[in-house]
Structure 1
Amino acid sequence: MSCTNNMKQIGIGLHNHHDTYGKFPPGMLTQDPYLPGAATPTRTWNNHGVFWSTFLLPYVEQNTLFDLLSEHLNNFDRQTPFQWWSHPSGNLASNLVPGYMCPSDTSGDYFPGFPEWKHGKSNYVAVAASGYSGQDLGDADRDTPTRAVPIPGYTLSGYNAKYNGCFWHNSKTNFASITDGSSNTFLIAERDGLAIPNGRNASHWMGPDNATFLNQGMTGIDADPTYRLNVTPTGIDLNQWDTPGSLHTGGANFLLGDGSVHFISDTIDGLTYEALGSRNGGEVANLP
């Protein structure tokens, strides 16, 4: 119930953000690779990003932390690097946000993937696409024309596509773009924090150390048995750690676009599962 309530509050936050700005927060905000007037990229993508969950801080009773970040990062100006670790009071990412942590996850307070970072853990990840798995969203073998569409003018590998979910690099999706219907589309999925190879590493709320690592704050909804919901990681394919899953028995919680939270069984039909991961696939997906 506590986990469900966390996700409902996240849903309220996403709706309030949409009411204020006319769109959802970006899946991950990244430094702009193009200086004004530049014809070619002038900045490296090998820098930090800022996850969607950072922009929801004012809606989960973390206004003070958000104001510190906004001031320190020049109001999230994409022309400058997002160096939150250099704040005079210390690494701002090490702050804990209780509303982002599932009480059933006993793996500790910090992101277990890289414990030396001391990044505050989050058990909730945004849904980027149906049918993808991999280190980042740019792997050619994971993309299909129905799931990734090149963005004109962007030629940087791994960042030149938008996806059929609701969140990705610098995304600006809104309710109008959810043509499958908000009650039929996943926004947020749960992910447990057990360390690989036994679990999925959870996430962290601030953002990754490298802007290619979307899987730290986002996920794909994949029917492939290798990447299905609650799959038991084998320790061989480490891409399994970017999938949804939980320490609840038999499934995990998901937030839908209408703000409702549903416990989805890990025996869900694969086609239905993937259909719920897309915002515009035209599928008829009824919750089981």
Structure 2
Amino acid sequence: MKVRSRKSAFTLVELLVVIAIIGILVGLLLPAVQTAREAARRMQCTNHLKQLGLALHNYHDTHRYFPYGYRLGEIGNRDCWYQRILPYVEQSALQDTYELCIRTPTSAGGNLSGGSSPVYTIPPTFQGKPLGSAVVPTFACPSDPSGPARCRGNQIGNYVLSNGSDFFKRTNSPSSSTKGMFYFESSTGFNNLIDGSSNTVMGSEIIIRGNNRDGHVYDGGAYWQGANHGEGFFSTQQAPNTTLPDLIVRSDTNFNECTNGNWDRFAPCEDVGYSDANASGGYRNSARSFHPGGVNLLMGDASVRFMSETIDLNTWRGLGTMQNGEVLGDF
């Protein structure tokens, strides 16, 4: 008499239990994986700001002062600290191309974006593309899903320098009234940091926002080709990731650069023109990031700290000044 061997198998209930357990494990592990990925992106962002800080310090070692915030060139070109430090982030060829364009005006050519005004003697291109659109990875935060992007044909990124704790003043003449390190034709040196380099903010990050059409983003972010518009700087007037809207200049209606919208805890930027912004005291650009809980902050000594969005506002504003003598305590 043969005894049949019984084959073992899962019952339907057992299979459902296994699937449920796997689902629970995935649900537990996925947030941890996402947190780990964001931690890695934040660390990369920190490294980018450290490179920016080192570049600014190396510039100071060479010239005995930090690069100017921005200036208006003799042909209307508005270069700023971004172009000045390109050689110090291994982008000498790009900076040389900027210099050649700036110094050679003519009646034929194109602007940095490939448009028609102002004009230059050479085609303003770099590696076959419009000069202003050249992407420098060092200036983009990996946590920002929109970057690096383009605005008016030019690259915009995430890193900006400090104009102080007040509005950004759109001016064409040097001013000593600013409380921050960088402004129109500034020449700030370590000797000007009366509050101490470790107690003075040098730079931070902002987010890229706006309508994305044809691969272009027409809104905020670090826009360096028109630095007098206020988008290449930030102030500590409002806390990091504030819900108060930024005030930056708009483009024409075809670009609709400054667009109101619902950005959760990231405030929209208010649509203001030149006269509107000046009437309200100037431009305001606040430190913002996609890092949960705060922003990365570049200090005057080139150290980088993660600053909580719940920092005391008086302390935050004190960090934005370089000669006010505030006693800040721990932050």
On whether the aligned pair clears a TM of 0.5, the verdict is yes
Q: 2:295 aligned with 1:252, yes or no?
A: yes
Aligned to 2:92: 63
**1:67-216 maps to which residues of 2 (within 5 A)?**
67-74=96-103, 83-85=111-113, 86=120, 87-88=122-123, 89=125, 90-111=129-150, 114=151, 117-132=152-167, 136-138=168-170, 159=173, 161-162=175-176, 163-195=178-210, 201-204=220-223, 206-208=224-226, 212-213=228-229, 215-216=230-231
Higher Rg: 2
Task: Call closer, same or farther: CA 1:237–1:30 in 2, change over 3 Å.
Answer: closer
1:261 lines up with 2:304 in the alignment: yes
Q: Aligned equivalents of 1:170 and 1:217: distance in 2?
A: 14
What is the CA–CA distance in structure 1 between the aligned matches of 2:307 and 2:203, rounded to whole Å?
12
Q: TM-score, normalised by structure 1?
A: 0.74
Kept in 1, the 8 Å contact 2:141–2:147? The answer is no
Structure 2: how far apart are the matches of 1:267 and 1:219? 18
Q: Counterpart amino acid of 1:127?
A: S
- Once the 2 structures are TM-superposed, how far is the Cα of residue 212 of structure 1 from its aligned partner? 3.7
CA distance in 2, matches of 1:102, 1:57: 17
* 2:175 alignment partner AA: A
| Alpha-carbon spacing, 1:30–1:158, altered in 2? closer, same or farther (3 Å) | closer
**In the aligned structure 2, how far is the partner of 1:171 from the partner of 1:9?**
21
- Once the two structures are superposed, what CA deviation does each residue of 1:142-165 show, in whole Å capped at 9, x if it has no partner? xxxxxxxxxxxxxxx664633110
Structure number with the bigger relative contact order (C-alpha 8 A, sep ≥ 6) is 1
Shift of 1:68: 1.4
Distance 1:269 1:183 in 2: 18
In the TM superposition, what whole-angstrom CA distance separates every residue of 1:89-112 from its partner, at most 9, and x where no partner exists?
A: 35311100000000111114224x
Deviations 1:150-207 (A, max 9, x none): xxxxxxx6646331100001111110001000000000011011228xx972113x42
Secondary structure class of the residue paired with 1:18: helix
Q: CA–CA distance in 2 between the matches of 1:271 and 1:231?
A: 21
- Contact 1:192/1:200 (CA < 8 Å) preserved in 2? no
Structure 2: distance between partners of 1:251 and 1:200: 22
- Deviation of 1:53 (Å): 1.2
Identity of aligned residues (%): 32
Q: Deviations over 1:66-107 (max 9, x none)?
A: 1111222229x9xxxx95445423531110000000011111
User: How many residues are matched?
Assistant: 239
Gaps of 5+ in 2: 1-42, 114-119, 212-217, 247-263, 278-282
RMSD: 3.0
Bigger helix share: 2
Asked if 1:5 corresponds to 2:19, the answer is no
Match of 1:146 in 2: none
Mapped pair 1:23 → 2:65: yes
